[in-house]
Chains A and B, each alone.
Chain A
């Protein structure tokens, strides 16, 4: 990893308008958690619905998409990546540095708000908090790696990423049950299910896959994404901004 690349990435990510979205969305989520608390008085089922359905299902992928495309996609888009690629820094190092920043940002802007949402909306001791922290962290790791790879591979990273994160599982998964097994969210939920133990079924925090296959699939997806990103960055073809 390269400290200068990381610093530049952080500045690119948090500078200007993207940062507004990165701060605004968690704030909205926390406000929503406060409302849920006020409406249901800490009812655990409502808290789980908010965390599982909205925070983990929509908010987290969106944040990871914003971060993942923000760390490298904009540079490729406006062509300024050539100045970085022209330096004697291995492409491997560039990808890892950018991924490290993306993961850090995902933890700060997506996973912590997710845990705070659970705590605000209602928690059983800290069990729900831990469960969703584990699920959120795993999902964030995989989503950011995939989205960084996507933004190296294609200029339509945002749209393809969303089609996968939201349409794939919710719509296709409804018709073809096997599709649900190939979903980052289901893999991450397996961890939450294990932590919650026998209460998982009662709170409807269930996953389509077991814990071991889920972790293996997560690792495979992440490794694949990183390898793909490095390889495509080694042979990156710059196209004119469209």
Chain B
């Protein structure tokens, strides 16, 4: 879409004598119209500010901030569940005097897969389904914001929230390990790898779940569809890998995990950082493996964004 797209506002009756809206030069970036009642001379923040506000509201809303108390229960309960294991792990290091945490930083999101899936499945429909269902998209789009801005702001908001939650649990793992006096440099390196991994995971999961949510205006169905999709894919990929192994297609079996977001990210981490894989999975060896897995991740995120932007090209109706 062109950069200077005129604001697709509500149909204005072209009353003679009304302030010329469409024709006003160099004022396309704001929508505080002077309709003759009261003047406004303050700053006009424009498109960037709209996008920023939308992003901030999305991030706040995912955590239930600014929403009623019963909307806060679920996200925080799931965050609580995500943060308990690091505490237990820290205690277990202390009690067993081991030199390594029982679960590595990159393995943690995979181990808590179900909770992560539930969190993103609860958050994604919140981000987009209500706007579609209650028909407020035309109101958003009558601001100086492009349709792609809306999609990108929602995507960024969800990805940032998910990353924050996952990075917090990684950091708690690090704190636990450091309190147990494990080697600082080693743990810091592991933590950095973990944070990088969850960043990629947050992008991939946000993309996939937002696409599903954007096509299911009913919130309940959106949650169910995202959870079902992600969990079924994970289970099916495991079975397929086992089948391929059994039939002796070892190469195929090593590339199949790329279809499941969690093992895709795990595969990238294993090849990029040289860490141990989750559940003893095997990933394609060497540079081609890393290349393919990274490409799949990038294509997934890119395709999700493209679908999202396309979804909002066509009106804001249900």
Contacts and interface: CB of A to CB of B under 8 A. Distances in A.
Q: Report whether chain A binds chain B.
A: yes
A58 B232 contact: yes
6 contacts: A54-B236, A65-B228, A77-B218, A156-B73, A156-B74, A242-B67
B235 interface: yes
A3 interface: no
Contact of A54 (B78, B114, B122, B235): B235
A54 B232 CA distance: 9
Nearest to A65: B224
A227 interface: no
Chain B binding site: helix, strand, loop or mixed by DSSP? Answer: helix
Contact of B221 (A18, A39, A46, A54): A18
A242 B130 contact: yes
A206 interface: no
Interface stretch (A91-99, A130-138, A158-166, A215-223): A158-166
A76 B115 CA distance: 25
B118 interface: yes
B239 A158 contact: no
Contacts of A171: 114
A65 B74 CA distance: 18
Interface in B215-264: 215-216, 218-221, 223-225, 227-228, 231-232, 235-236, 239-240, 243-244, 246-247
Given A69-B224, A159-B121, A241-B130, A40 B216 contact: no
Contacts of B225: 17, 21
A35 B121 contact: no
Contact of A78 (B81, B218, B227, B240): B218
A162 B114 contact: yes
Interface string B115-143: 10010011000100010011000000000
Contacts of A59: 232, 235
Nearest to A75: B220
Given A54-B239, A156-B73, A159-B74, A74 B115 contact: no
B241 to A, nearest CB: 11
Contacts of A38: 243
A215 to B, nearest CB: 28
Contacts of B246: 39-40, 46
Given A74-B221, A162-B114, 7 more contacts: A32-B236, A36-B243, A58-B231, A58-B235, A66-B228, A157-B220, A162-B227
Given A21-B228, A35-B240, A58-B232, A158 B115 contact: no
A89 interface: no
B279 to A, nearest CB: 13
Given A58-B235, A77-B219, A25 B228 contact: yes
A78 B130 CA distance: 11
A82 to B, nearest CB: 17
B232 A159 contact: no
A62 B74 contact: no
Contacts of A17: 215-216, 221, 225
A167 B235 contact: no
B68 interface: yes
A74 B218 contact: yes
Contact of B239 (A32, A77, A157): A32
B118 A73 contact: no
B71 interface: yes
A50 interface: yes
